[in-house]
Amino acid sequence: MKYENIIYEVKDSVGILTVNRPDKLNALNSHVIDEVVDALGEAKKSEEVKALIITGSGSKAFVAGADIPEIQKIGLKDGMDFSRRGQEMTRNVEELGKPSIAAVNGLALGGGCELALGCTFRILSETAKLGLPELALGAMPGYGGTQRMSRIIGKSRTLWMILTGDMLSAHEALQLGLANKVVKPEELMEVAAATAKKMAQKPSLAMKMCIMAVNHGAETDLESGLFLESALANILLGSQDKTEGIAAFVEKRKPIFTGK
C-alpha cells in the first residue's frame, strides 16, 4: 500500500480520498498532509479521475483538525512553514482543476474545516459539525480558514465562529450556504458519489474553466473577472468538446466528450 494514513481509490471516474486515522479523529499531522498532497497530485494528473470526494474514516469525525501534539512542538521558527504547508494542501484541493466534494461525515474542526472549505462543494451528514476552535489553544486558523470562511459566510459570521469557538450544525451550515446539501449519515457517500458521477460525465475542460472563472473572478474586480470569463469562454469555443457538444445537440444524440 502506497499510503499509511489515507486511503485513495478510484471508482467510476471518481477519486475517493479518505483520511484514515480514526483513533485520532483523522487529525492531520505532517505525514497525513504529505499523503493528502501526494494523492491530490495523483488525482490532478489522472485522466481517468474526473471528480474527487474527500471524507474521513469512522462516523465521528471528518477531520478534527491539525495534529495537536505536533503543534505543541512548533514555535516561531517553523510556524510559518507549518501554516504554509497546510495552505498548500487546501490550495491544491481548490486548484485541482476538477470538482471536489467534501463528504463531511462528522466533526470538521480547524484544519478539517479548512480542508472542506478548499473543496468545490460540501455535502454534510446530519450529524456533521463545522468549527474553527483554534483560539481555545491560543492559536488561530492557519490553513486558509480566516480567508475562505469569510468569503463564503461573511466576515462577521466568520469572526463569530473563530472568536466564540461555536460550531455550526449541518443545518446551520446549509442555511449559510456553507453546505450544499445535508443528508442522512447512511446516505452520505451514496449522495456524494452520485453527485461526483453526475459531474464526471460533463466535459472536463469546460468544468475546469468554470471553476477557474468563478474562483479567480471572485478575487478580482468585475471588469477583470468579465475579461477572464471571455478569455476562458473563447478557449472553450475553440475546443473539440464544444464542437462535439453542439453536433450532438443538433443530431439529437448524447455527446461523447474527450476533455479536449
Put residue 101 in one of left, alpha, beta given phi > 0 → left and psi -120 to 50 → alpha: beta
Closest CA to 90 of 109, 64, 116, 110: 116
| E-strand stretches of 74-224 | 100-104, 107-109, 121-125, 129-131, 168-169, 181-183
Assess 168 for contact with ligand COA (CB under 6 A): no
Nearest approach, Cβ of residue 113 and ligand COA (Å): 9
Q: Rule CB under 6 A: choose which of 99, 133, 144, 255 binds ligand COA.
A: 133
Q: Rule CB under 6 A: choose which of 24, 44, 91, 197 binds ligand COA.
A: 24
Q: Rule CB under 6 A: choose which of 25, 43, 53, 89 binds ligand COA.
A: 25
Stretch that binds ligand COA, among 5-13, 24-32, 193-201, 213-221 (CB under 6 A): 24-32
Instruction: Pick between residue 133 and residue 255 the one whose CB is nearest to ligand COA.
Output: 133
Nearest approach, Cβ of residue 147 and ligand COA (Å): 16
Instruction: Pick between residue 140 and residue 214 the one whose CB is nearest to ligand COA.
Output: 140
Phi and psi torsions of 44, nearest 5°: -65, -45
Assess 86 for contact with ligand COA (CB under 6 A): no
User: Look-up: residue for cell 474514516?
Assistant: 57
Asked whether 173 and 134 are in contact (CB, 8 A), the reply is: no
The four Cα atoms 6, 108, 121, 185 give a dihedral, to 10 degrees, of 90
Catalytic residues, by residue number, are 114, 134
What is the distance of C-alpha 172 from the center of its chain?
Answer: 19
Nearest approach, Cβ of residue 195 and ligand COA (Å): 27
Q: Give me the residues that bind ligand COA (CB under 6 A), please.
A: 24-25, 27, 64-68, 107, 109-110, 133-134, 137, 139
